[in-house]
Structure 1
Amino acid sequence: SRFLNSVTVNVAQSHGSTSQIVPSNFQRSEQSKDSVYFRDGVRQIDFVLSYVDDVKRDAELKAERRREFELNLRKTGLELEIEDKMNSEDGRTYFVKIHAPWEVLVTYAEVLGIKMPIGESDITRPQNLPLSYMLGPVKLPATVKYPHPEYFTAQFTRHRQELFLIEDEATFFPSSARNRIVYYILSRCPFGVEEGKKKIGIERLLNSNTYLAAFPLHDGQYWKPSTVPTHVNERYILHKNWARFSYFYKEQPLDLIRPYFSCLDLSLQTPLFFPEPHCSLGSAEICDPHIGGQMIMCPLCDEVCDYWRLNTTCLHSNRDGGGFNHLFDNESTVFFAIFMGIWVTLFLEFWKQRQARLEYEWDLVDFEEEQQQLQLRPEFEAMCKHKKMNPITKEMEPYMPLFHRIPWYFASGVTVIFGMALLLSSMVSVIVYRLSVFATFASFMESEATLQSVKTVFTPQMATSLSGSCLNFIVILILNFFYDKVSAWITKMGKFVGYPGKYTYMFSVWRSEECDPAGCLIELTAQLTIIMIGKQLFGNIHEACQPLIFNWWRRRKAQTNSEKLYSRWEQDHDLQVFGPLGLFYEYLETVIQFGFVTLFVASFPLAPLFALINNIVEIRVDAWKLTTQYRRPVAAKAHSIGVWQDILYGMAILSVATNAFIVAFTSDIIPRLVYYYAYSNSSSLSGYVNNSLSVFLIEDFPNHSAPLEKTDFTTCRYRDYRNPPDHESKYVHNMQFWHVLAAKMTFIIVMEHIVFLFKFLLAWMKPDVPKDVLEKIKRESAFLAEG
């Protein structure tokens, strides 16, 4: 980069000479296997590169690239020490240990705009709030929560070092800042010119297998503290206070995470509160042998399905008896949906304030505007052949013209379209499965026993829904594999079934399945339960077991001679790679969970509870794998969660509409209310079931859909609001259908306006940045001006 060439000269001149490799007359037996220092025991290892001798025909090319790359690294002022393959446990891997001396650190700290302490803050930390004693069990000890004093900070400048609190040059920059600086140099260091093109960056060397790995070291073993008095094993402290599962109820030690990783998984893993749905006065007509037991329902499929009695679905339809349907579909569902619409606004507004507080505490205020623009991606710089004047900095910068970007846009568009087509085909396949097996379930579940009023737990609707949900879950897992864990959930909020004699068919073959007479909500609930819980269980088991198994296997393959020293860099080399997309998958998983909690909460009130349980487990699983099973990731900074925040806000707005439609068209609440206020003669729900079922004349069945067995019944019932067969406009929607539809649309409009009004009021009332944070920012600026 344009910075690297000038900075390299300055650093090399200040050093006077390039660093030298320590002679190989060092006895490894004198070195601890947990050492994070060079052989002299003084210079700290900030980064490690590894490679093996390649016997293929491009071995010489790779060796030449390594020689050129390492020579250029030394020119920047970095110090290198190479461990021969004979010293490694597998006898074939070379390790290049890198140390950044003081001059390199101060130079690139200024280039990267790293903020460092200039004085201890004179603003006291917030004291215990009222009733805070109730949160005592979840609080960490003060020495763990605040392990260091709070400082005012400023962007580091090497020409004004006297402004900063430099007590010891060896410990002034935290290890996360050191490895970030070294990686910045590695990603921009050239290793040669090929075909007239300048080749730069460690990532290219890794992609070509010139180097096997590039990683910063963990501080030591996670299960024991450091034995060196001058070295603090931050990995051990972090594992002890963050990754232990016995601390599942404790808050997270952010001030311990920051100096070690310098990046934060702002994954919104926050407890979610929700009210339990309660049962209210309802109707037991479905279970009544004199009402539901006397109602003959129309067949659920063509020809092979028989008639059945309504009370066979009693076990999951009963309202007074606590049936499955009423557990999720009751009067409190409306208020719960409205409450969750308001809650999601409160959640995001409090999150903005929490994010603003973290921005200040983690020295990320104005980070995006002031520093990020100076850190162009090295691969982009190497790719660009054109430059243009930056109107702000008045400097020439790499620029890619539109005609060069069009092919990439086209490739991206084709990929997205293909993915959408694959998703759509998978969705259609699940629908076809449901329609095809519905008739099968109905044919052997709706036997003669159903006409004898035998109550069954699993109706054909329920069996189809559960099996279809399991298939849906398997499809999502498969698509996750092909889409890099891009998950999708498929739900149906409305069904167009038709009516006896004029059913709706898919592809003229499969007849549309019908909802249970007690409502469709239980089917959507079953789908969401299986998909959400299944994804959470599979995700946590996969995240915990996959790195454990892989690390065990790699360690087993590498262990050839137990007498050799299994050094710190070899131990970390055998761990899994977190990768540049590691946090992306964590965010994606959390945002999908946020969608379950908000978009479909009206049909799945237990989603917040499962999300809370999952987050409690997920926090400790992630902490455990980051501190024990993965290499230490390169430090990275970001002032916010970026585009994920826009996605969350989009979900929050969309959730109001989805929950309103779920309550209106999937739940049975609105039809019951319309009946109660407009059609009931006794101001109760008595007679509602009979009112909600229309009558069909059996002799009107077409030959291809009528049951094969003859019966003595002349009519059957089906769920709809249509005129009876003796009406002049038989089987046409009656006036009650239009009243219910109007009530549904009115409910949607009213609910959306109420929730959006509260959302806008709450967003307007709560500032994005807390008042105390603003005061700290102003006080820090004043302190810097005084200094």
Structure 2
Amino acid sequence: MASSGLFFKDGKKRIDYILVYKKSSPQVEKRSTFEKNLRAEGLMLEREPAVTNSDIMFVKIHCPWETLCKYAERMNIRMPFRKKCYYTDWRSKTMGRLLKSWLPRNPMKLDKEALPDLEETDCYTAPFSRARIHHFTINNKDSFFSNSTRSRIVHHMLQRTKYEDGKSKMGINRLLNNGTYEAAFPPHEGSHKSRHPIKTHGAQNHRHLLYERWARWGMWYKYQPLDLIRRYFGEKIGLYFAWLGWYTGMLIPAALVGLFVFLYGLFTMDSSQVSKEICEANETIMCPMCERNCTLQKLNESCIYAKVIIFDRGIVLMISTATVFLEFWKRRRAVLTYDWDLIDWEDEEEELRPQFEAKYSQVERVNPITGKPEPFQPFPDKLSRLMVSVSGIFFMISLVLTAVFAVVVYRLVAMEQFASFKWYFIKKYWQFATSGTGVCINFMIIMSLNVVSLLLTESEWENSFALKMFLFQFVNLNSSIFYIAFFLGRFAGRPGKYNKLFNRWRLEECHPSGCLIDLCLQMGVIMVLKQMWNNFMELGYPLLQNWWSRRKMKRGGQLMEHKISLPQWEKDWNLQPMNLHGLMDEYLEMVLQFGFTTIFVAAFPLAPLLALLNNIIEIRLDAYKFVTQWRRPMPARATDIGIWYGILEGIGVLAVITNAFVIAITSDYIPRFVYAYKYGPCTDQGYRQEKCLKGYVNSSLSVFDLSFRSQANLRGFSLLYRYRDYRAPPWSSAPYEFTLQFWHVLAARLAFIIVFEHLVFGIKSFIAYLIPDMPKDLCDRMRREKYLVQEMMYEAELEHLQKERKKNGKQYHHEWP
């Protein structure tokens, strides 16, 4: 057993944590003091040199039973003391049996028969106490505390042990930062692979079981073994994968709706009255869209773009799906926190960070809940930290806006160049070339600024850092999209009175078919490229790093047989450490994706489908990465996904507002609606969309007279040209002023925004009201469990007192002469 790398040399003491340092490190005194204090706290340490590197030394840490009990009590760790007994009526039992016998085998269902080691001890739990140790079910002291619990206790001790005399001279994190130690991690439970099939020989360990039943790509259609994930990696990572799986499942209806909208538009685009009129307008000459090199083009040249713009249906349903997702996640989270015994964890176990405790130990106040003194951060200190954080956020956002402005300038310059390009294809489709190259450059800027943000927004506080990173990356990712959706072409002016940037470049206008095609292109390219890049960085980069480390070992003269004889701690040392910010990168990627799938879904209804396909890969990619490519992270506890839930709710609110503006302002839905009811050919005959839109295109185009100009490149053509706007013709009494139809459309747009927002917010609130945060049967189970726990604690205490009285009575009888 000792050779497996999971025990001390004696083969009995289990390794709970590994410290790694270099013999050449000059921090010998700090390391010696730290390890001396660890031994004084009750830990056992054993050194072991590395097999492949003579300069590397491993320190194996074992936490004995007495120390485990002491810190389990201090940390209020809940431990089992009796099997649970649930109250279920005969109807639920009967229905369960009928469903089990009638329903066919579900291929998506996790086959628990294939997980023989996944037998959760379903017991009542209570905070551990050495004085009441007789209450707890202790069949074996070696297995009473799980491996993840043992590692968590040791990590707690490492965080609070001093290495020098001083208030803040404590904690393994500081020793890692100053180079005293190279790494600190709990060991994996063994190899993730086996020579023998798992079906015939079973799993070697939980890591092997996770790989075979979860992390392999062939398991992409299976449910996740969340209980095993939680047992091996801790509740915090277990909740992440539970949330990711739940989010992926809720994307299915949104993806189906988006796909239906896309296919419906695809099959009906040839029958659209508006696209027909654009495709048949071979005599309508549009105004040039750039100042110098753009040639005149006919309206029917925009035929293909007009057919593509079909995305303005099913939006309310897809946004409501986001609300359903958040509400049902509350229920799912409630069930998980109950099953994982986290209901009362926040009140009983959450502790102050050791760095905060050391920094503000001199400033204390009485906790109103516990009545005990605790470190307190003064208001001036809070205010100064807040001002620094806000300043940093504004600086980064201003950097993003500067980058967006640079892309806008590029588009203004590029459209002149592409319009005069020698290649006919580029010259003909210069707008597509401008948008395509602009979005690619914008994507490179987005990824570059994301890297810069990691260096400039560092923070000791996890929630603060997560919020700052989200705000920056959200603005970075969506600023160009907001520009195209709401600003592109809005301030360009009109023919004869165009607005120019720096009095040189004419501001960019929308395509004759509208700005929605540019918005769709921007979203599609950024979403696809970003997902491909994230997948490479999450899996491809660690694979390359691990491959390079193995290659260096071979170049250094290491033999291949060393790989076979390497102990587990050295194999883990050769893996990549988990990201410095833990799960923040994983959550941030998914939350930004959630924003993409909801905020501009009116312009790009295929976004939920792309997100669904990506997430199916993402779950297995993350699983493979956690199980095979990363060192085992410290098993941390959590009751929810933290600040990310509030961010998701904020995105849901923003999605309603943004989609209302996209439909009302960016798309032509409202102008078509106003024309059909007010100006169309069938205003008094009932409303039918396509029939009543006859003549809409001509109504939406204004006239510009070039007869007063003598431009060489315009000779030989009609001097009356069209442009997208609602302005009076030049021969009217008020030339180029806004028409009555413009004000009708504007009023309808404002009214639609108000009605749409109130309608969707009303639906969201109604859905939230209908769906309680906690299932009723779970509430009943919790109440019954609380009652039974009090009864069993009373019975156990009474039984213990009776045994003590009998024992004392016998002792008194023997001592009496």
**TM-score class normalised by the smaller sequence:** 0.7 to 0.9
Match of 1:71 among 30, 36, 39: 36
Does the C-alpha gap of structure 1 residues 147 and 93 become closer, same or farther in structure 2, counting only changes over 3 Å? same
User: Is residue 2:500 matched to residue 1:505?
Assistant: yes
Distance 1:780 1:289, change over 3 A: closer
**Residue matched to 1:645:** 645
Q: 1:315 aligns with which of 279, 294, 304?
A: 304
SS at match of 1:294: coil
Give the SS at the match of 1:256.
helix
Looking at structure 2, the residues matched to 129 and 212 of structure 1 have their Cα atoms a distance apart, in angstroms, of 58
Aligned to 2:801: none
Moved more, 214-223 or 435-444: 435-444
Shift of 1:230: 13
The whole-number CA distance in structure 1 between the counterparts of 2:279 and 2:38 is 89
State whether structure 2 residue 341 is matched by structure 1 residue 363: yes
Higher mean Cα deviation, 258-267 or 478-487?
478-487
Q: Is the 8 A contact 2:279 2:303 kept in 1?
A: no
User: Which range is displaced more, 132-141 or 603-612?
Assistant: 132-141
Are the equivalent residues in 2 in contact too, given 1:313–1:457 (CA < 8 A)? no
Q: Please point out which of 415, 434, 439 is paired with 2:392.
A: 415
Aligned twin of 2:633:
633
Tell me the distance in 2 between the aligned counterparts of 1:381 and 1:586.
Answer: 29
Partner of 2:668: 668
Contact 1:356 1:769 survives alignment (8 Å) = yes
Length-normalised TM-score, structure 1:
0.87
Identify the residue that residue 436 of structure 1 maps to in structure 2. Answer: 413
State the partner residue of 2:45.
80
CA change 1:124–1:598 in 2 (3 A) is farther
AA paired with 1:509? R
Q: 1:724 is matched with which residue: 714, 724, 729?
A: 729
In structure 2, the partner of 1:752 is 757
Q: Could you give the per-residue CA deviations for residues 137-159 of structure 1, whole angstroms, max 9, x where no partner exists?
A: 11111335763253322222222
Change (3 A) 1:397 1:471: same
Distance in 1, Cα, partners of 2:121 & 2:161: 37
For residues 289 and 446 of structure 1, do their structure 2 counterparts lie closer, same or farther at Cα, with a shift above 3 Å needed?
Answer: farther
The aligned counterpart of 1:239 is: 211
Deviation at 1:341, TM superposition (A): 2.3
Equivalent of 1:694 in 699, 702, 705? 702
Q: What's the offset of the Cα at 1:129?
A: 9.8
What is residue 684 of structure 1 aligned with on the other side?
Answer: 692
How do 1:311-710 residues align onto structure 2 when only pairs under 5 Å count? 311-317=300-306, 323-326=307-310, 328=311, 333-334=312-313, 336-372=314-350, 375-392=351-368, 393-444=370-421, 459-484=429-454, 487=473, 488-490=477-479, 491=481, 492=483, 493-494=485-486, 495-496=489-490, 497-558=492-553, 560-562=557-559, 564=562, 565-682=565-682, 683-700=691-708, 708-710=713-715
Q: Where does the alignment leave 5 or more consecutive residues of structure 2 unmatched?
A: 455-468, 683-690, 793-817
**Distance across 2 between alignment mates of 1:134 and 1:504:** 67
Partner of 1:735: 740
Q: CA RMSD in A?
A: 2.7
**1:26 matched residue in structure 2:** none
Once the 2 structures are TM-superposed, how far is the Cα of residue 622 of structure 1 from its aligned partner? 0.4
The more displaced of 618-627 and 675-684 is 675-684
CA–CA distance in structure 2, aligned partners of residues 79 and 226 of structure 1 = 35
* 1:298 to 2:290 alignment: no
Deviations 1:463-497 (A, max 9, x none): 32222211221111111111137522221222312
> What SS is found at the alignment partner of 2:209?
helix
Alpha-carbon distance in structure 2 between the residues aligned to 1:255 and 1:517: 56
Indicate conservation of the 8 Å contact 2:22/2:57, yes or no: yes
**Which one of the candidate residues 31, 37, 52 is aligned to 1:89?**
52
Contact persistence 1:51–1:210 (CA under 8 A): yes
1:206 aligns with 176
Distance 1:304 1:128, change over 3 A: farther
Cα gap change, 1:199/1:446 in structure 2, threshold over 3 Å: closer, same or farther?
Answer: closer
DSSP-derived class of the 2:319 partner: helix
- Residue number among 105, 112, 129 corresponding to 1:142 in the alignment: 112
CA drift of 1:505 comes to 2.0
For 2:365, give the aligned amino acid: M
Aligned 8 A contact 1:518 1:668 in 2: no
Secondary structure of the residue aligned to 2:169 is: strand
2:806 corresponds to which residue?
Answer: none
Per-residue CA deviations over 1:155-193 (Å, capped at 9, x if unaligned) read 222222222222111111111111000000000001122
Report the count of equivalent residues: 724
Q: Deviations over 1:391-434 (max 9, x none)?
A: 43333322232344444334323322221121111111111112
Change in Cα spacing, 1:230 to 1:236, as seen in structure 2 (3 Å) is: closer
Q: Which amino acid counterpart does residue 34 of structure 2 have in structure 1?
A: F
Counterparts of 1:33-72 in structure 2, within 5 Å, are: 34-54=4-24, 59=26, 62-72=27-37
Q: For 1:782, which of 780, 787, 793 is the aligned residue?
A: 787
In 2, Cα distance between equivalents of 1:134 and 1:606: 32
3-state secondary structure, aligned to 2:11: coil
Between the aligned partners of 1:427 and 1:135, the Cα distance in structure 2 is 53
- Check conservation: 2:186, 2:633, Cα contact below 8 A: yes
Aligned-partner Cα distance in 2 for 1:45–1:122: 35
Structure 1, residues 196-242: CA drift from partner, whole Å, max 9, x if none? Answer: 55511111111111111110000011112899x99951100011111
1:28-69 Cα offsets, whole Å, 9 max, x none, are xx953x3311111111100000111226xxx2xx11111111
Partner residue in 1 for 2:84:
121
Q: Flag structure 1 segments of 5+ consecutive residues without an equivalent.
A: 1-29, 318-322, 450-455
1:191 has 2:168 as partner:
no
| Offset at residue 545 of structure 1 (A) | 0.9
1:186, 1:202 within 8 Å by CA — same for their partners in 2?
yes
Partner Cα separation in structure 1 for residue 247 and residue 763 of structure 2: 24
Q: Does 1:252 align with 2:228?
A: no
Instruction: Return 510-519 or 665-674, whichever deviates more.
Output: 510-519
- Sort the Cα spacing of 1:580 and 1:119 in 2 relative to 1 into closer, same or farther, 3 A: farther
Hey, what's the Cα distance between the residues in 2 that align with 1:540 and 1:435? Answer: 33
Task: Tell whether the 8 Å contact from 1:299 to 1:306 is kept in structure 2 after alignment.
Answer: yes
TM-score by length of 2: 0.84
Distance change (3 Å), C-alpha of 1:729 and 1:230 = closer
Deviations 1:746-769 (A, max 9, x none): 111111111111111111121111
Residue identity matched to 2:760: V
Q: How far did 1:133 drift?
A: 4.5
**How far is 1:120 from its partner?**
2.3
Counterpart Cα distance in 1 of 2:658 and 2:6 = 54
Q: Is the 8 A contact 2:516 2:603 kept in 1?
A: yes
User: What percent of counterpart residues are identical?
Assistant: 41
Q: Is the 8 A contact 1:121 1:150 kept in 2?
A: yes
For residue 153 of structure 2, the aligned residue among 181, 188, 196 is: 181
For residue 586 of structure 1, give the secondary structure of its aligned residue in structure 2: helix
Structure 2 CA distance for aligned equivalents of residues 231 and 437 of structure 1: 60
Distance (whole Å) between structure 1 residues aligned to residue 330 and residue 511 of structure 2: 43
Give the direction of change, closer, same or farther, for the CA distance of 1:440–1:377 in structure 2 (3 Å limit): same
Indicate if the aligned counterparts of 2:194 and 2:204 stay in contact, CA closer than 8 A: no
Quote the Cα distance in structure 2 between the aligned partners of 1:345 and 1:434: 37
Range that drifts further, 133-142 or 360-369: 133-142
Summarize the Cα distance change of 1:208–1:423 in structure 2 as closer, same or farther, 3 Å threshold.
same
What one-letter code is carried by the residue in structure 1 that aligns with 2:596? F
